[in-house]
Structure 1
């Protein structure tokens, strides 16, 4: 799609594709077969391990809300393998499907005006890591080491990638 005349951006999620054009496009029906072919071939799936500290501002509240201890929330979050279901909201923000159903909570009633880069969060049936500081309405359960977005190299995660979380080595963060 990026090779189609006038396309300036393409956004892909699990079920949808959006093409953004520089001007009002003249749709060419010969493009449709290339869409069908694209549905069959995607980029190779990569596996990532993100090192997390489960020290988020909402961890205790999440545990109370779902009837678990904070340690049980952490264990369930660590046990899952997540799949990048969509990219969006901001560069490098991957919506990770695969959250344990016992941890599902709706978004916060009131979003925070500021969430730090690297914040590990959950909302609904998803988990995510905020790649840069931004306002946000998800429940913060921890933080992740390493950048998920670089302006030169792009997003670390890609659609369909698999993600697991592992406990960060806390000795590296000691004063």
Structure 2
């Protein structure tokens, strides 16, 4: 883990290189290490051991913003070891069940990448315990982890100019659901009518980091 100062009151925890905490020869990925640290930092903030107004995970980093004393906080971070990444979720977070109609036009392409048939793809998606690793791309868009690395799929060579809201899709090691209509290059496997972003709700995003997610048949 590398800790970088960002402005006067923020720190960036960078996990692009294997950190010493996971041990030599560990199969932990940056995403799983980020999730472990995200959960650890949220826990320590709840217990009053960490002061930060924002804890923002990404694919291989965690940003701490609103840190009164970055130097002292960085020194404390170096002495902390997060819990194992597997199974870490936001404390008190209820699983979100997303009803999905599996009629995505890219299902045959996903099946070909996985070396199987479409029904097997659906069974795999339905039994996978997903978790929101981080949010980005568009308001309410959560990057869902849970699929094994060997099932990563490439994005389309040319993005679609418009992907309908509610589209359930795969790209790289992630699953995701488009909260609004937008351009996109992920492989479409289905669609849901569940509202994922509502500016009038609190919080506006239905899927937040650490939230467990299950894709269930509509």
With normalisation by structure 1, the TM-score equals 0.75
The reply to whether residue 54 of structure 1 matches residue 102 of structure 2 is yes
Uncovered stretches (5+) of structure 2, i.e. residues with no partner: 1-7, 11-51, 84-89
Q: How many residues align?
A: 161
From 63, 78, 81, the counterpart of 1:18: 63
Uncovered stretches (5+) of structure 1, i.e. residues with no partner: 169-175
Match of 1:161 in 2: 211
The reply to whether residue 76 of structure 1 matches residue 121 of structure 2 is no
Hey, which of these two has a bigger chunk of strand by percent? 1
From 158, 165, 170, the counterpart of 1:117: 165
TM-aligned CA deviation for residue 145 of structure 1: 2.2
Q: CA RMSD in A?
A: 3.3
Report the CA distance shift for 1:8/1:152 in structure 2 as closer, same or farther (over 3 A): farther
Say whether the 8 Å CA contact 1:47–1:162 is kept in structure 2.
Answer: yes
Say whether the 8 Å CA contact 2:9–2:69 is kept in structure 1.
Answer: no
With normalisation by structure 2, the TM-score equals 0.62
2:208 partner SS: coil
1:150 partner SS: coil
Say whether the 8 Å CA contact 1:76–1:100 is kept in structure 2.
Answer: no
From 126, 142, 145, the counterpart of 1:97: 145
